[in-house]
Amino acid sequence: MTLKTPEQYENSLRKMNFKIYLMGELVENPVDHPIIRPSMNSVKMTYALAQDSQHEDLMTAKSHLSGKKINRFCHLHRNTEDLIKKVKMQRLLGQKTGACFQRCVGMDAINAVDSVTFEMDKKLGTKYHERFIKFLTMMQEEDLTVDGAMTDPKGDRSLTPGKQADPDLFTHVVERRKDGIIVRGAKAHQTGALNSHWILVMPTMTMTKEDSDYALSFVAPADAEGIFYIYGRQSCDTRKLEGGEIDVGNKEFGGHEALMVFDNLFVPWENVFMCGEYEYSGALVERFAGYHRQSYGGCKVGVGDVLIGAAALAADYNGAAKASHIKDKLIEMMHLNETLYACGIACSAEGHQTASGNYLIDLLLANVCKQNVTRLPYEIARLAEDIAGGLMVTMASEQDLRHPEIGKIVEKYFKGIASVPTEHRCRVLRLIENVTLGTAAVGYRTESMHGAGSPQAQRIMISRQGNLAHKKKLAKEIAGIKD
């Protein structure tokens, strides 16, 4: 098998034995849990579109290891065309789900780990890359969803990992054995962890010699003994427990985050890709962050397309579509959205080959892309809320709309133009609410700010990559200044 069907993917999750806590209770069946299920549907779409001949070019690729057709989420980028197709694929999936489809982080992780382990082996004589390729071969053959795990809780930001009051606030090795290592700690904000088959752990920051126990990368089954999860709370998430679909906004799809806890997790050496090589921790963080910042030029744009469409529908249903200021706001939303896309395509087109043979994006442009993502989606969301109107957040519930007595009142007073059913207007307003304020806002609005690093992280990288000295030299030459 190299391409799972959507049904095979869902069935594979049913066979797993996750330990998940959600709202104080242990979840027995995460696949069918009404709060978790929509996020699984989003990942399922990555499998469904790969089976669709219309989208085969974007959703699949040829493995450089086996020569077989594989899901692009399991692929190592072999040229700039692969990097560009990645962004286009992510936009497509954002358009189809209106939510976070979660497999990007694993794809970005394998591409970062590939080149860094190759360089480690070449210089240090280690066998990390060989181990990684063995795992990647399995990942491609079985079409696995892998969760890339980088972000540690971090505790007191003013202290290094080893000086924390609690050493487990950063993921670290607590014991090295002949057969493997024992790991303790946690990874926070883990997107799609409960819909993944395996996890790929990476260090959260550049480590020093004193903190070499925290320079750690490995893979483990997502349901391994020694791993448990605490599901992250999202705005309006309990609406999914009500049984309706209008108030949810996005009736089928969603995303999720979780705290991933390592409680003396045993990892065999064959699954370890870094253990103490602190000199390479910075490169792994930098490359993963670069790939993931590129990703936001695709996925956030696809969700933005849905939000722009919803705002335009709201204007239609409100009878305001012909107003010049509404037209201008929609144009501005499209302009901002395409600006994000342009950055994602640009950093891909300017990519270059690494020593291992895979392709890395232009890191400067990838960070510019993500810096824009920390700002422009907020303006797109603001304009959507402006166009939608106040009813978006004061509307009566679906139960009221369906009520045998007051439903007629809701139907009457919440109607916009006469030719459009009130329910249609309610649905599109709830969709806008979902993307800008509800559960989807985690994967669009807030994740745009903090996902793949907060704004300052990109500004630091822009400062490093911007080559200010070269720009000064150009100015001196033009001005005739000689040193």
Within-domain flag for 378: yes
The pLDDT value recorded for residue 39 is 97
Q: Say which of 280, 296, 341, 444 is annotated catalytic.
A: 296
Within-domain flag for 1: no
Domain's final residue, options 246, 280, 314: 280
The pLDDT value recorded for residue 446 is 87
Q: Which of the four pLDDT bands, split at 50, 70 and 90, describes residue 445?
A: confident
257 a catalytic residue:
yes
Residues 91 and 178 in one domain: yes
Structure tokens at 12: 């594979």
Domain's final residue, options 254, 280, 306: 280
Within-domain flag for 416: yes
Within-domain flag for 45: yes
405 a catalytic residue:
no
Residues 48 and 61 in one domain: yes
Within-domain flag for 480: no
Residues 238 and 381 in one domain: no
Q: Which of the four pLDDT bands, split at 50, 70 and 90, describes residue 349?
A: very high
pLDDT reading at 439 higher than 90: no
d(CA 406, CA 412): 10
Residues 270 and 314 in one domain: no
As a residue count, the chain comes to 483
The pLDDT value recorded for residue 442 is 87
Q: Which of the four pLDDT bands, split at 50, 70 and 90, describes residue 224?
A: very high
**CB proximity list for 292: less than 8 A, separation 6 or greater:** 104, 105, 108, 451, 452
Q: What is the mean pLDDT of residues 176-196?
A: 98
Q: Say which of 104, 275, 369, 426 is annotated catalytic.
A: 104
Residues 331 and 207 in one domain: no
Q: Say which of 117, 231, 257, 426 is annotated catalytic.
A: 257
Q: Is the whole model's pTM more than 0.85, yes or no?
A: yes
CATH of the domain at 157: 2.40.110.10
Q: Say which of 151, 191, 436, 439 is annotated catalytic.
A: 191
Q: Say which of 197, 214, 292, 374 is annotated catalytic.
A: 292
Residues 89 and 189 in one domain: yes
Domain's final residue, options 263, 280, 297: 280
Residues 353 and 216 in one domain: no
343 a catalytic residue:
no
Model pLDDT for residues 279-335, shown as the tens digit of each residue? 999 999 999 999 999 999 999 999 999 999 999 999 999 999 999 999 999 999 999
447 a catalytic residue:
yes
The pLDDT value recorded for residue 431 is 97
Q: Say which of 74, 100, 275, 369 is annotated catalytic.
A: 100
The pLDDT value recorded for residue 464 is 92
d(CA 317, CA 320): 8
Q: Which of the four pLDDT bands, split at 50, 70 and 90, describes residue 227?
A: very high
pLDDT reading at 128 higher than 80: yes
CATH of the domain at 442: 1.20.140.10
Within-domain flag for 159: yes
The pLDDT value recorded for residue 326 is 98
Q: Which of the four pLDDT bands, split at 50, 70 and 90, describes residue 20?
A: very high
Task: Evaluate the CA torsion angle 355, 361, 364, 367 in order and state its sign.
Answer: negative
Domain count, the chain: 2
Residues 230 and 358 in one domain: no
Within-domain flag for 298: yes
d(CA 365, CA 405): 57
171 a catalytic residue:
no
Q: Which of the four pLDDT bands, split at 50, 70 and 90, describes residue 229?
A: very high
Percent of the chain with pLDDT over 70: 100
Residues 371 and 404 in one domain: yes
Nearest to 343 by CA among 364, 314, 322: 364
Residues 317 and 395 in one domain: yes
Which residue segment(s) compose the domain that 411 sits in?
Answer: 283-474
- 41-55, 179-193, 355-369, 449-463, range with the lowest pLDDT: 449-463
Helix, strand, coil % over all residues of the chain, rounded to 5: 55, 15, 30
299 a catalytic residue:
yes
The pLDDT value recorded for residue 255 is 96
Within-domain flag for 53: yes
Model pLDDT for residues 33-70, shown as the tens digit of each residue? 999 999 999 999 999 999 999 999 999 999 999 999 99
Mean pLDDT (the chain) is 97
Residues 167 and 213 in one domain: yes
347 a catalytic residue:
no
Task: Report the side by side order of strands in the sheet with 216-221.
Answer: 146-149, 198-201, 216-221, 272-275
Q: Say which of 299, 347, 369, 426 is annotated catalytic.
A: 299
Q: What is the mean pLDDT of residues 205-219?
A: 98
Residues 390 and 427 in one domain: yes
335 a catalytic residue:
no
**CB proximity list for 43: less than 8 A, separation 6 or greater:** 9, 101, 102, 103, 145, 192, 195
Model pLDDT for residues 76-121, shown as the tens digit of each residue? 999 999 999 999 999 999 999 999 999 999 999 999 999 999 999 9
